[in-house]
Amino acid sequence: MSQQLQGKVALVTGASSGIGEATAVALAEAGAAVAIGARRADRLAGLAQRLTDAGARVLTLDLDVTDEASCRAAVAATVSEFGGLDVLVNNAGVMLLGRINGADTTDWTRMVNTNVLGLMFMTHAALPHLVERKGAVVQMSSTAGRTVRAGTGVYNATKWGVNAFSESLRQEVYQDGVRVVVVEPGIVATELREHITDADAKASIVRSAESIRQLQPEDIANAVVWAVTQPAHVSVNEILVRPTDQG
Ligand code: NDP
């Protein structure tokens, strides 16, 4: 693989599984030093070992994006270890689907705090460093940030929130040379749906996913690497990737 990101530093949130893990691998394969953050230390340690064995420079971050102090510490540790930050991938997220009437509202709190506020805290902490290096921020949104269905309203609201925040951010920072990339995957085969607490909602999404050829985490990682390796005058603002079989 070409080393287009040689000398660059990337921080990936939610790197302990799924899309974040694949993205950290792909960024490292492209030559970036990678800081990998999440809460499950054992999973991060396994990934760090694999990346190190492959010759990458890696920093493991104990990160809970719902905690602003944790976000600030993760960015500070990355800059301290690698000397700066070029690419922030705001990937950490939860998808606790279910109908609004009768919902367990603690699911809502977790989704809003993780998907929206966590992404905002990370962006806020990283922005001065991204401005300094004319870097890029990649926001992991979803097709759920462009379309809405019954039974997914709060998850939709978080991803629409991500898209709104990101377009405002783009308008604020484009003159600094910072690029903002929103990635909107359709159904990807990951652990995301395993955490759904509403049994009917979980069965429904599992049924839909298993009836099609799902995207793999690497399909989205490829899109991220493509976006952040474009020439400096090219700003890829939005990438929507669905499985071919997804309606
Ligand atoms: P996974 O469940 O495999 O990954 C989610 C990641 O987020 C994990 O690494 C998890 O790490 C991390 N995470 C969750 N909460 C926190 C937190 N509070 N602080 C830090 N990290 C956290 O699912 P995916 O890879 O599918 O999800 C990644 C992103 O992709 C999400 O934003 C999701 O909304 C989005 N997406 C996924 C789609 C899919 O079909 N899979 C489709 C469209 C978008 P840990 O638990 O160790 O902290």
Q: How many domains does the chain have?
A: 1
CA–CA gap between residue 63 and residue 53 (Å, rounded): 23
Structural domain includes residue 61 = yes
Range of the domain at 42: 9-241
CATH of residue 232's domain is 3.40.50.720
Report pTM. 0.98
Structural domain includes residue 118 = yes
Structural domain includes residue 247 = no
DSSP string, 106-169: HHHHHHIIIIIIIHHHHHHHHHHHHHHHT-EEEEE--GGGT---TT-HHHHHHHHHHHHHHHHH
State the Cα angle at 237 between 233 and 238, rounded to 5°: 145
Ligand 1: which of 63, 95, 224 to mutate, judged by most atoms within 8 Å of the beta carbon? 95
155 an active-site residue? yes
Mean pLDDT, rounded, of the chain: 98
- At residue 74 the predicted structure's pLDDT band, cuts being 50, 70 and 90, is very high
- At residue 14 the predicted structure's pLDDT band, cuts being 50, 70 and 90, is very high
Structural domain includes residue 130 = yes
Q: Is 42 in the pocket of ligand 1 (CB under 6 A)?
A: no
CA–CA gap between residue 192 and residue 18 (Å, rounded): 8
Structural domain includes residue 246 = no
Dihedral over Cα of 13, 17, 20, 21: its sign: positive
How far does CA 61 lie from the centroid of its chain? 15
Structural domain includes residue 3 = no
- At residue 216 the predicted structure's pLDDT band, cuts being 50, 70 and 90, is very high
CA–CA gap between residue 209 and residue 111 (Å, rounded): 21
CA–CA gap between residue 53 and residue 46 (Å, rounded): 11
149, two tokens: 């269905």
Q: Rounded to the nearest 5°, which phi and psi values hold at 129?
A: -75, -35
Which pLDDT tens digit goes with each residue over 89-125? 999 999 999 999 999 999 999 999 999 999 999 999 9
Structural domain includes residue 156 = yes
Tell whether the model's pLDDT for residue 217 goes beyond 60. Answer: yes
| Ligand 1, atom 19: closest residue by C-alpha | 64
Q: Is 19 in the pocket of ligand 1 (CB under 6 A)?
A: yes
Closest alpha carbon to 123 in 84, 88, 172, 85? 88
Structural domain includes residue 2 = no
Determine which one of 155, 165, 188, 221 is catalytic.
155
